[in-house]
């Protein structure tokens, strides 16, 4: 098939292999003024040159670029350690193993998040327990977390929804009281802050995403684990790379016939290939996988870290421009900024008063008549068919009302023009006026 033919075939998100993870194109003929872009950052010559430089290296995976990216990312987020991984989901799965979570354990989690958070638990046969959300920030509510703690609770997985951090002080207080872990899902929160502390630096570990949609991206996929725990360095390194490690010469002797391979010099084997290049051991019964990042992604990541502040300021300007433009519309609410937090606006979530507007009707008019494409995040996880088949349930009325009645997400990225921002504001005003009539 010709190049042109391939492009003609893959014109919509539904037809592409990635589906909703790779495009929001619909092919329905609506003339868009502001589409929901699937690229959340800005690339220029820095990223292009970084890719070409990395491609000239001898090794293209887990080399010097990954090391530099990890160091730069850790420094920016005020943590001791950062570990590049293939994506945020694999990073969360690794942390689930790192916490030594097992069948029968429970983890308290928000229903207002992507399915990945629950999947990493289900892979280890750990039960997700859903706590309701705050109606202003849409983050997990610490008071609801406290109600869900049982003797089986081993961790709390928080998600910093849309780029605004959760209320971490009471969450950490609950965790320390019950001696349980806290994982921060920072997929939306690069550079976000809570009382001056960076996302990924407050809980026991944080995990970031560099997916195409995110505030910074490493060629469409990628992730990073952060922690201040020195004891977790070796386990994380092993679990992200198939449990590979060095031979322990103090405990292992290798004898074949009359030839012993235990010969050491100053505590090390005399030759780098003796007894072999690596050893493989489990971590508390857990087996890792290939969750590595390649050098090209890391090279782009190095360039992107340098741009985080600039990208964040553009997102903040765009979000606040929309907030200001719609502030006087009855029944329509812009984004609430918690004064304790530095919001980085991965998403711009518009909320409606369901007594004034039908959410789906509002979204339909905004899209079809004003050309502004909105999307929805997130259906309560426990409503998915697969989880219901497992008997997993939830009781989170605020999250349910939020998704089904109140919310839609507007286009938000750092490349929005003033004309596009004005079109968004005009579209919201026009839709509200039409539906009120």
Q: Decide if 402 contacts 347 (C-beta within 8 A).
A: no
Distance separating alpha carbons of residues 102 and 125, to the nearest angstrom: 7
Q: Are residues 15 and 53 in the same domain?
A: no
- Residue 66, CA distances (Å) to 6, 207, 214 in order: 33, 16, 19
Q: Are residues 323 and 214 in the same domain?
A: no
Per-residue model confidence (pLDDT) at position 24: 76
Q: Are residues 298 and 318 in the same domain?
A: no
User: E strands along 110-263, which residues?
Assistant: 127-130, 153-159, 181-185, 193-194, 197-198, 205-209, 223-227, 244-245, 255-256, 259-260
Distance separating alpha carbons of residues 27 and 35, to the nearest angstrom: 12
Closest CA to 303 of 34, 30, 53, 1: 53
Q: Are residues 384 and 345 in the same domain?
A: yes
Q: Are residues 296 and 215 in the same domain?
A: yes
Structural domain includes residue 259: no
Distance separating alpha carbons of residues 344 and 164, to the nearest angstrom: 7
Provide the number of structural domains found in the chain.
2
Q: What secondary structure does DSSP assign to 225-289, as a single string?
A: EEE--GGGHHHHHHHTBTTEE---TTT---EETTEE---EETTEESSTTSS-S-EE--BTTB---
Q: Are residues 16 and 131 in the same domain?
A: no
Distance separating alpha carbons of residues 113 and 396, to the nearest angstrom: 13
Q: Are residues 291 and 348 in the same domain?
A: no
Structural domain includes residue 250: no
Q: Are residues 95 and 20 in the same domain?
A: no
Q: Are residues 87 and 66 in the same domain?
A: yes
Per-residue model confidence (pLDDT) at position 27: 81
Q: What secondary structure does DSSP assign to 386-402, as a single string?
A: HHHHTT-----HHHHHI
Structure tokens at 59: 């090794």
Structural domain includes residue 251: no
Per-residue model confidence (pLDDT) at position 20: 66
Q: What domain range includes position 19?
A: 3-37+308-436
Task: Give the chain's length.
Answer: 437
Structural domain includes residue 15: yes
Structural domain includes residue 224: yes
Structural domain includes residue 205: yes
Q: Are residues 429 and 382 in the same domain?
A: yes
Q: Give pLDDT tens digits along the chain (437 positions).
A: 444 444 433 344 445 566 666 677 778 889 999 999 999 999 999 999 999 999 999 999 999 999 999 999 999 999 999 999 999 999 999 999 999 999 999 999 999 999 999 999 999 999 999 999 999 999 999 999 999 999 999 999 999 999 999 999 999 999 999 999 999 999 999 999 999 999 999 999 999 999 999 999 999 999 999 999 999 999 999 999 998 987 765 545 544 444 444 455 555 556 777 778 888 999 999 999 999 999 999 999 999 999 999 999 999 999 999 999 999 999 999 999 999 999 999 999 999 999 999 999 999 999 999 999 999 999 999 999 999 999 999 999 999 999 999 999 999 999 999 999 999 999 999 999 999 86
Q: Are residues 429 and 292 in the same domain?
A: no
Boundary-marking domain end, from 277, 305, 333? 305
Question: How many Cβ atoms are within 10 Å of 21's Cβ, its own excluded?
Answer: 15
User: At 96, which CATH number?
Assistant: 3.40.640.10
Distance separating alpha carbons of residues 9 and 23, to the nearest angstrom: 14
User: At 384, which CATH number?
Assistant: 3.90.1150.10
> pTM of the full predicted structure?
0.92
Structural domain includes residue 392: yes
Closest CA to 187 of 40, 369, 5: 40
């Amino acid at each position: 098939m010709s190049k042109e033919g391939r492009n003609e075939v893959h014109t919509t998100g539904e037809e592409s292999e990635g589906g909703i993870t790779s495009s929001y194109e619909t092919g329905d003929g609506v003339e868009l003024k502001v589409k929901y872009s699937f690229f959340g950052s800005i690339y220029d010559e820095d990223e292009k040159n970084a890719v070409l430089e990395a491609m000239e290296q001898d090794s293209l995976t887990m080399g010097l670029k990954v090391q530099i990216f990890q160091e730069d990312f850790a420094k920016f987020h005020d943590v001791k350690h950062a570990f590049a991984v293939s994506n945020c989901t694999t990073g969360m799965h690794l942390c689930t193993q790192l916490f030594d979570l097992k069948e029968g354990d429970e983890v308290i989690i928000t229903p207002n998040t992507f399915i990945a958070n629950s999947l990493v638990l289900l892979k280890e046969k750990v039960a997700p327990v859903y706590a309701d959300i705050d109606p202003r920030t849409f983050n997990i509510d610490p008071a609801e977390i406290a109600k869900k703690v049982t003797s089986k609770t081993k961790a709390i997985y928080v998600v910093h929804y849309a780029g605004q951090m959760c209320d971490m002080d009471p969450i950490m207080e609950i965790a320390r009281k019950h001696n349980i872990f806290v994982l921060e899902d920072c997929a939306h929160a690069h550079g976000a802050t809570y009382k001056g502390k960076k996302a990924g630096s407050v809980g026991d570990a944080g995990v970031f995403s560099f997916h195409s949609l995110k505030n910074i991206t490493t060629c469409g996929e990628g992730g990073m684990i952060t922690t201040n725990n020195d004891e977790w360095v070796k386990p994380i390194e092993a679990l992200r790379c198939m449990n590979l490690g060095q031979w322990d010469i103090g405990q292992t002797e290798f004898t074949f016939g009359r030839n012993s391979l235990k010969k050491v010099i100053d505590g090390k084997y005399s030759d780098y290939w003796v007894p072999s290049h690596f050893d493989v051991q489990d971590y508390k019964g857990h087996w890792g996988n290939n969750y590595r990042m390649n050098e090209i992604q890391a090279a782009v990541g190095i360039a992107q870290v340098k741009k985080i502040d600039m990208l964040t300021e553009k997102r903040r300007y765009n979000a606040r421009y929309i907030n200001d433009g719609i502030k006087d519309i009855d029944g329509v609410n812009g984004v609430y900024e918690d004064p304790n937090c530095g919001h980085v606006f991965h998403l711009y979530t518009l909320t409606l008063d369901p007594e004034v507007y039908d959410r789906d009707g509002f979204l339909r008019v905004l899209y079809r008549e004003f050309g502004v494409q909105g999307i929805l995040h997130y259906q309560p996880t426990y409503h998915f068919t697969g989880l219901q088949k497992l008997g997993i349930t939830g009781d989170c009325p605020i999250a349910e009302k939020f998704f089904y009645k109140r919310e839609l997400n507007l286009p938000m990225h750092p490349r929005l023009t003033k004309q596009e921002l004005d079109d968004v504001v005009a579209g919201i005003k026009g839709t509200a006026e039409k539906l009120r009539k």
